[in-house]
Amino acid sequence: MRILLTNDDGYHAPGLAALERIAVALSDDVWIVAPAEDQSGTSRSLTLTRPMRLRQFGERRFAVTGTPTDSVLLALGEVMRDKKPDLILSGVNRGANLGEDVFYSGTVSAAMEGALAGIRSIALSQRYPAQGVGDRVSFATAEAWGERVLRPLLAQDFAPRTLVNVNFPPVAPEAVKGISVTRQGLRDYGRATLEKRSDPRGYDYYWLALGRLPHQPGDDTDLDAVADDRIAVTPLHLDLTHAASLAMLNEAYR
């Protein structure tokens, strides 16, 4: 099995190193093509207004001066053009990708690009405590449980244009209560706030902050599972059509 690893935290991110340790338990044909720098929150953006560069760090190890989606495109179209991967793993992200996070996440978007290419694709993310821990995020739980989560998925046939989103809770490996298959949840982020500051030269700049409000539990979503110290395994698909509105809109245009 040929495996492609990518992420949105960048080529040198500890989570990508953790993902590589998970992947080598599954195959000895593991490739890395990841963004050269942190691309968190870039969603499915493409680099269209400037050229991209590909830097090789070793055998089957590459960094791209672009987004996670760019990285998958360059992997499939250049680095691995002789033989496409059988599996794409994206992560392990520093922080959860739960609920509406999937619309912003570069980690999930890289897996989306793989799904569009017809390749089995899985995104993996490690939630950290609410107060934040700077660069000291532990990926021990993702590493301890990663193979156990992935092996059953490898035995399944994914439907076309679907992917799986995996989130690990912010607890020690032995405290994990199990694995749950869940729906995508939804939180209310509340109103975005802008914090205005000035640099040493007197020019203004801004930090964007999102005030998340607690979700309403009870539907066994990915949010509920991780809050209950379970690993959330969530199938996603790329068809955003709201089927229930089709009849209403067809009637409106009659």
Known binding-site residue numbers: 8-9, 40, 93
Give the three-class secondary structure for 135. Answer: coil
Give the mean pLDDT of the chain. 93
Q: What is the pTM of this model?
A: 0.92
What is the tens place of the pLDDT at every residue in 146-187? Answer: 999 999 999 999 999 999 999 999 999 999 999 999 999 987
* pLDDT value for 186: 85
- Between CA 241 and CA 252, with CA 247 as vertex, the angle to 5 degrees is 110
Strand partners, 58: 61
What is the tens place of the pLDDT at every residue in 191-235? Answer: 567 889 999 999 999 988 766 556 666 678 999 999 999 999 999
* pLDDT value for 213: 59
Known binding-site residue numbers for a divalent metal cation: 8-9, 40, 93
**Beta carbons within 8 Å of 2's beta carbon, 6+ residues apart:** 27, 29, 31, 80, 83, 84, 85, 86, 87
**Strand order across the 162-168 sheet:** 54-58, 61-64, 29-35, 2-6, 87-94, 120-126, 162-168, 231-237, 179-181
Strand partners, 181: 233
Give the three-class secondary structure for 103. Answer: helix
What is the tens place of the pLDDT at every residue in 84-131? Answer: 999 999 999 999 999 989 999 999 999 999 999 999 999 999 998 866
Q: Are 209 and 192 in contact (CB under 8 A)?
A: yes
Domains of the chain listed by start with CATH number: 3-185+216-253 (3.40.1210.10)
